[in-house]
Amino acid sequence: MSVKPHFETVKSFADVPITDNSIETYSFLEASDGLVEMFDLFGSGVFGFVQSDLRSNINGVRGRYEARKDSSGTLEALVSSEFQEEGSSRYATACLVRLTRGLALTYKALQHMQSDRSLSLHVAIRAVPYRRDFYERLGQGASAEKLDEDLAKWLAGLDIIVRRITEFLEQGGYGRV
């Protein structure tokens, strides 16, 4: 029995609903969870800190979303409503800022690895898998072409989201990514 490629089992950032001025919170959180799950494929403790940081920040945003779904349907609404609440600690906004930083870093690393086939993360950090092993684990038996296509869509979606969130947070004075 073959296992499906990772990008067929999780929400893609490319599938997160985005309008002219908003990003849907629930789908964004689902896609972010999928990113954290991706690190599980490698079984190496090297990603433990990264996973813990991402999970903590995802949970901070999710906590606000779950507590105030009526005013948190989009990331922009979640942040705006948190800032309008008197006495709010603005914890979810701080988590979103840190999560966006982590997503931006992940995007850049994966984008560079995909665009330069000779690049190996393994050279930089010994515990990180070789590029070919990384792709094999993500692909779970799928062709390299299929994985490249799925990863390219996933990265394009992530890039759009990171840029939009960063712009919103910084222009609104909510935080610096």
From first to last of its 177 residues, the chain has per-residue pLDDT tens of 457 766 777 899 999 999 989 999 999 999 999 999 887 776 666 677 888 999 999 999 999 999 999 999 999 999 999 999 988 899 999 999 999 999 999 898 888 777 776 655 544 445 556 667 777 777 777 787 888 888 899 999 999 999 999 999 999 999 999
DSSP annotation of 133 reads H
Please state, in angstroms and as integers, the Cα–Cα distance from residue 106 to each residue in 64, 74, 99, 132, following that order. Answer: 24, 22, 10, 18
Q: Which residues pair with 24 in a beta bridge?
A: 74
Partnered with residue 23 across adjacent β-strands are 18
Longest CA–CA separation in the chain, Å = 55
| Contacts (Cβ under 8 Å, ≥6 apart) of 136 | none
Query: What is the value of pTM for the model shown?
Result: 0.87
Is residue 113 classed as helix, strand or coil in its secondary structure?
Answer: helix
Residue 122, pLDDT score: 47
Instruction: Please give the Cα distance from 150 to 10 (Å, whole number).
Output: 11
Separation between Cα atoms, residue 47 and residue 41, nearest integer Å:
10
Ordered domains of the chain (ranges, CATH): 20-168 (1.10.3520.10)
Per-state percent for the chain, helix, strand, coil, to nearest 5: 70, 0, 30
Own/partner pairs, 44-48, CB within 8 angstroms, 24+ separation:
44/127, 44/128, 44/129, 45/127, 46/125, 46/127, 46/128
**Angle (nearest 5°) at CA 100 between 13 and 165:** 75
Structure tokens at 41: 């494929």
